[in-house]
Amino acid sequence: MTHVTILGSINVDTILQISRLPKPGETLAMSGKQVAGGGKGANQAIAAARAKAETAFIGKVGDDPNGKLMRRALEAAQIDITQISTSNYADTGEAFILLDDEGQNSILVDGGTNQEIKIADIERAQASIDAADFLIAQFETPLTTTLAAFRYAKSVGVTTILNPAPAKTDLDPELLKLTDLIVPNETESETLTGIKVTDEPSMQAAAHALLNQGVKAVIITVGAKGAYYQTKTEQGFIKAFKVDAVDTTAAGDTFIGALSSQLQGDLSNLASAIRFANKASSLTVQKLGAQPSIPHLSEILADGDIQKA
């Protein structure tokens, strides 16, 4: 069984359903409202755990109802929450998601306790990193903490996966040198490389730029089209499964969590793991909400058009 440790964000999402995004100064009536667990890190952890990876989490919540809610949700998913600490100074992170009738979303985030994760938290969580095949991080927690975590992971031979989301430009170059696999979408890829992703040649150029910055392998996800991957020895494009999207929230997080559950530590089965992750994401977008929509392994394998990587 693959062991995955995730350093990341924990949010409670409020989903506001609207016909379309409002114009400046406009008032629109909502057609629905839901509250669900979220946060890129927590979503990825639940996706990994539901795909049957042994999963542990490094994060922080507030001493508030949302924090208690998220602890219960992660524990119910059989995630090791030993390294989720509680802050007495900030509230649990929250996200407010505007979801339109086409299934597209715009998201506002209050980082809350996610921004309080410190290097000391990484030092306390070293045993969780030691036990992992993969350490995954995103950009919803402090970059200095992620850098410390990746330094430690590489010192003990753990493969690192970086989801550079939301996109940032002020990266310490060392972070990419410590990254074995980076997984941006087309927007995040452009932010990191300055290359606009419009077709496969531009994906290849962006991937080369990231490899030149020190990462070992690149996956650029392009939504409903699929994902492009490149290493120093191989490259390719894996098409997405065609479905009718209801809500794209957590599609990328599902992809990364599901991917990590199937990967070999040397990334030798990258293409087959991407196909598995594409299938998982295609199921996520057909349901409403982040964590409620993330599929279990049995659902991913149910129709027989995908197998474990």
Q: Are 11 and 94 in contact (CB under 8 A)?
A: yes
Binding-site residues, please?
11-13, 39-43, 140, 185, 221-226, 247, 249, 252-253, 278, 284, 287, 289, 293
Q: Is 253 a catalytic residue?
A: yes
Are 95 and 39 in contact by the 8 Å Cβ rule? The answer is yes
The DSSP H or E segment spanning 54 is: strand 54-62
- For the annotated binding site for ATP, the residues are 185, 221-226, 252-253, 278
The single residue of 121, 170, 253, 305 carrying the catalytic annotation is: 253
DSSP label at residue 239 = E
DSSP alpha helix (H) spans, the chain: 40-50, 65-76, 119-124, 126-130, 143-155, 173-177, 186-193, 200-212, 251-262, 270-284, 297-301
Binding positions for K(+): 247, 249, 284, 287, 289, 293
Rounded to whole angstroms, how far apart are CA atoms 2 and 308?
Answer: 12
Pairwise CA distance, residues 91 & 114, whole Å: 9
How many angstroms separate the CA atoms of 92 and 243, rounded? 34
Closest CA to 214 of 174, 247, 242: 174
Exposed, middle or buried, 239 (CB in 10 Å: 0-12/13-18/19+)?
Answer: exposed
User: Using alpha carbons only, what angle is made at residue 193 by residues 192 and 197, rounded to the nearest 5 degrees?
Assistant: 105
> Residue positions in the annotated binding site for substrate?
11-13, 39-43, 140, 253
Contacts of 126 (CB under 8 A, 6+ apart): 152
Point out the residues that are catalytic.
253
